[in-house]
């Protein structure tokens, strides 16, 4: 079963968490260094950039659920699902902002969506 790393509105207690119904929460997770969280207003975006880490949660999801989440995240247009490197956990899928150029969005200090403070 696929593992999914979530870091924003899919987190437990956040407005879109209900979309993970039927999944199994493994627990809190942290990316390895080399990632940043951008503030897109109503939601965050994960990018490979800098030396930071991003905090989130890890879930076991079924392949059909993963496909439904792809639709919700508008993969591969709005977000792109690809592997993310995590600390103390196997590789998992995550939704990234596509492209490699800096979109000029503010970074979220500390890589935490909850209690966020843009830089």
Active-site positions read 73
Instruction: Decide: helix, strand or coil at residue 119.
Output: coil
Instruction: Decide: helix, strand or coil at residue 33.
Output: coil
What is the end-to-end Cα distance of the chain in Å, rounded?
Answer: 37
**β-strands 3-6, 55-60: how paired?**
antiparallel
Quick one: which of 85, 97, 81 has its CA closest to 32?
85
CB distance 93 to 6 below 8 Å:
no
Which secondary structure element, helix H or strand E, spans residue 108, and what is its range? Answer: none
């Amino acid at each position: 079963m696929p593992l999914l790393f979530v870091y924003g509105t899919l987190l437990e207690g956040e407005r879109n968490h209900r979309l993970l119904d039927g999944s199994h929460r493994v627990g809190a997770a942290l990316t390895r260094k080399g990632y940043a969280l951008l503030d897109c207003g109503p939601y965050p975006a994960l990018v490979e950039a800098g030396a930071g880490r991003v905090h989130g949660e890890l879930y076991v999801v079924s392949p059909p659920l993963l496909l439904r989440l792809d639709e919700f995240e508008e993969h591969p247009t709005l977000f792109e699902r690809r592997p993310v490197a995590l600390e103390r956990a196997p590789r998992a899928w995550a939704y990234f902002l596509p492209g490699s150029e800096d979109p000029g969005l503010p970074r979220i200090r500390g890589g935490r969506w909850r209690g966020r403070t843009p830089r």
